[in-house]
Amino acid sequence: MPNYRKTKRACYMGFITQAIAANFAPLLFLKFHNDYQITLGKIALISTCFFLTQLLVDLFCAKFVDKIGYRISIVISEVCSAAGLVGLAFLPDLLPEPFVGIILSVIVYAVGSGLIEVLCSPIVEACPFDNKEATMSLLHSFYCWGAVGTIVISTLFFAVFGMDSWKWLAVLWALVPAINIYNFATCPIEYLVDEGEGMGIKELFRKPLFWLSICLMICSGSSELAMAQWASAYAEAALGLSKTVGDLAGPCMFAVTMGISRVIFGKYGDKMDLMKFMIGSGILCVICYLLASVSSNPISGLIGCIICGFSVGIMWPGTISISSERFPAGGTAMFALLAMAGDLGGSIGPGIVGRVTQSAGDNIRAGMGVGLLFPVTLLIMLFIFARQKNNKYNK
């Protein structure tokens, strides 16, 4: 009997790897600015390159991963993640232009991150586990715990050894994907559908309900990342906290509550209705954005930012689960397109909040007020999806 628990553990470590890739470099932005004299405008391009690369990888996966194979592709993801993190430590000093070294490294590990994002979900979905919805939620919780671990461990490391030791930490973080290469190379991996039988991109886009799934993922990514990426700035601006404390009180606690939401559904999902849980979470998300945007009490606003993590926790894995149920032959193309939509939302949301904040004279509450559109739209989409699902069952 294949040991599918080994597959699950490998995918858990895969999401931890993705969390390291997404959260480690932003902790070093000011270090890059001061040590390499890189302008803040160029520094902002690091995150842009990371998410743009992930988007391109999502599109690539939708077309070619089934032909390459899951195992080869997921092993490549860990190789790229490890190589990119090691490159981040050395390429800026080896190349004539440090910024080029940073961007090249970010692109390499973003390729790994994008492959992980697309492949881990269908790999787990294809395993013969009971209660797939709960299993998917628990799987995605490891991204949250990986983000918390990256922020907390890196902060403690810098406090003990100093910021100048960041290159050693980059190499140490690279050990996580390096070890996971063996796990993915040896664990049992199944396919969702037989070769050539999965739905293609054109076939999926001919389904109106799939467009609704795409919109759900865009709104999920926007609602999550708009709050997550501005939570630290909110904590600093509203409460006057330092950067370190702001990171711990903002994005770190956001990731903790998001992980708790996913663990709760992962543990008790067999006793819950996923759609009702998502709609309830959507209502809570609207309340959290209202607290962050209109509350005159900064503590209440910060609580809104933190609890927002809980409210968005189920949205990404939940949308994957309800889409998998509706399109069982969706195959890799479906997972890749959903991941692309989530990344697109994650790129759009923070940018809109940031632009509005700047236009309002650095008033972050104004930015959060406009960001309220994301969870409101998400909630409307959930009601429409639930109605379509009920109509299907009533026919």
According to the 3-state scheme, what is the secondary structure of the chain?
A: CCCHHHHHHHHHHHHHHHHHHHHCHHHHHHHHHHHHCCCHHHHHHHHHHHHHHHHHHHHHHHHHHHHHCHHHHHHHHHHHHHHHHHHHHHHHHHCCCHHHHHHHHHHHHHHHHHHHHHHHHHHHHHCCCCCHHHHHHHHHHHHHHHHHHHHHHHHHHHHHHCHHHHHHHHHHHHHHHHHHHHHHHHCCCCCCCCCCCCCCHHHHHCCHHHHHHHHHHHHHHHHHHHHHHHHHHHHHHHHCCCHHHHHHHHHHHHHHHHHHHHHHHHHHHHHCCHHHHHHHHHHHHHHHHHHHHHCCCHHHHHHHHHHHHHHHCCHHHHHHHHHHHHCCCCHHHHHHHHHHHHHHHHHHHHHHHHHHHHHCCCCHHHHHHHHCHHHHHHHHHHHHHHHHHHHHHHC
User: What is the spatial distance between Cα 154 and Cα 161, in angstroms, rounded to a whole number?
Assistant: 10
User: What is the spatial distance between Cα 256 and Cα 313, in angstroms, rounded to a whole number?
Assistant: 10
Give the Cβ contact number of residue 103 at 10 Å.
20
- What pLDDT is attached to residue 64? 82
- What pLDDT is attached to residue 104? 96
- What pLDDT is attached to residue 174? 97
- What pLDDT is attached to residue 393? 42
pTM for the full predicted model:
0.84
- What pLDDT is attached to residue 66? 78
Give the Cβ contact number of residue 97 at 10 Å.
11
CB 8 within 8 A of CB 133: no
- What pLDDT is attached to residue 52? 85
pLDDT in tens, the chain (395 residues): 788 999 999 999 999 999 999 888 888 877 888 889 888 668 767 877 888 898 899 888 888 887 888 899 999 999 999 999 999 999 999 999 999 999 999 999 999 999 999 999 889 988 888 888 888 889 999 999 999 999 889 988 988 999 899 999 999 999 999 999 999 999 999 887 655 556 777 888 888 889 999 999 999 988 988 887 777 666 766 666 666 666 666 778 888 999 999 999 888 888 888 899 999 999 999 999 998 888 777 778 788 888 999 999 999 888 988 888 888 877 788 888 898 898 888 878 877 887 787 788 877 778 888 889 999 999 999 998 888 766 554 44
